Amino acid sequence: MFAGNLQIAACILLSGNSFAKIKLMFQFANIANISQTTFYRMQNLYLAPTIDHFWKTLQAELLSAYQGEKALLSGDGRNDSPGHSSQYLSYNVGDPEKKVIVHTEVVDVREVNGKSPNMERLGFERSMDQLQKNIVIDEMVTDAHSQIAAVMKKCDKFKGVKHSWDLWHGGKNIHKKVVKASQNKKCRDLLPWASTIRNHFWYAAKESKGSERKMKAIWFGILHHVVNEHEWLLNIDGTYGKCAHSPLTEENQQRPWIQKGSPAHVALKGIVEDKRFLRTFSYYVNFRHSGFVESFHSHLLMYAPKRHAYTYVANKARIQLAAIDFNKHTNRKQALDKDGKPRFEVKYSKQSKRFYPTAKLEPKKYEYIGELQRQIFQSRQNDYGHMSWHVSLDENDPRRIHSTRHLVTRPSLSQVTAQYQSRFATSQSHELTGSSNQ
């Protein structure tokens, strides 16, 4: 094998590129390149196994650093496509304090009998099973997934783990409810208060200090504040009712007050005092959020964009590459200008419709790539077989369940062609038949 062939295949995958696009670029430049078959054989034989070994070695080092200490982890699932027909889901678990990804789990839709909504629960359970073999999990932060909540409640193996929900998603749902209620013409006064009500939910969780009763007392205070009532008789926890903000003036109060007992106030009361919502406060009192894992999912787009389809082997390798990249560059420092001052860049928020400064980090160095390439070449050197030799499927490969993701036998091309009829082709054939008869 030419060394350049293996090198180009390795660089395509390690950089997160698509072989089809690179091949097209080489074709336009009139440069010879390896075939698609050769690339996929190299990927299955040398690239993916080496990446898997590299990631598991790095993961073992991360988990060994806990040394019996209790871990606070956050997890979230990420589908491989933007629609509702996902084939793969990667469940990723990270440590928000150490800013590292500690586990990734890839689930194929065939493993849940073709029902994609069940993939996140399976990914979560597998991740917890693997992590609990190595570390003690004190608390797990997830989104408000009903199946995951049921598993955490009912399974004995998770009884010692505190389950918290992502506060950002909770606030987002409240904001949606307030905006929806404000669409009623009698409740339009609620719209300017939507962001304030969401922020107050965050404040109530932060100040609760783990007390569900205290969080409810602070949360109910918004019903008094919006009607310009900043002191009241009693909270539900027995404390004196009073807003925590400083005295308001006309200059710092930019929203019109809502009239007490008005339709808008009644609608807000229904949202704030909703019994089903109040029962979820136990998941928010620790003031946790999974924004750290969400940022990793954004980073994943470099290696596994949702508009591209990959095989199970390639998808798993790309998820692991993203985790390696993320962990190796998690402690990047802020870049400095020529005068030694910290550098910033200006970004625009669509939601708040304003510009804000953000720290500009040092460029990535990708120092681990050289070691990965060395291990890839070492795996080829240790391989005494031919590249066309048969490789049996891994025991966890979903193709062992069924050859297709649809869980039905694929018909031949001739059968599909014979059964398929386009309405346009039919009309054209009728026209041709009619003209020939004439």
Per-residue pLDDT, 423: 63
Contact 103, 130 (CB under 8 A): yes
Per-residue pLDDT at 428: 47
Tokens of 126: 């597998």
pLDDT recorded at residue 408: 79
CA gap 388, 247 in Å, rounded: 77
For residues 220 and 273, the answer to whether their CB atoms sit within 8 Å is yes
Let me know: does 258 contact 226? Beta carbons within 8 Å.
yes
The pLDDT, as a whole number, for residue 351 is 65
Among the listed residues 109, 138, 78, the one whose alpha carbon sits nearest the alpha carbon of residue 304: 78
| pLDDT value for 436 | 42
Residue appearing with tokens 């073709």 = 114
Token pair listed for 32 = 């010879």
Burial of 101 (0-12, 13-18, 19+ CB in 10 A): buried
Taking the C-alpha atoms of residue 51 and residue 200, their distance in angstroms, rounded to an integer, is 45
Reduce the secondary structure of 294-316 to three states and give it as a string: HHHHHHHCCCCCCCCCCCHHHHH
pLDDT for residue 438: 42
Burial of 423 (0-12, 13-18, 19+ CB in 10 A): exposed
What residues of the chain score a pLDDT lower than 70? 250-252, 351-352, 421-438
**136-142 and 88-95: which strand pairing?**
unpaired
Quick check: helix, strand or coil at residue 367?
coil
- Three-state DSSP state, 368: coil
Burial class (CB in 10 A: 0-12, 13-18, 19+), 81: middle
Measured in residues, the chain has a length of 438
DSSP SS3 for 88: strand
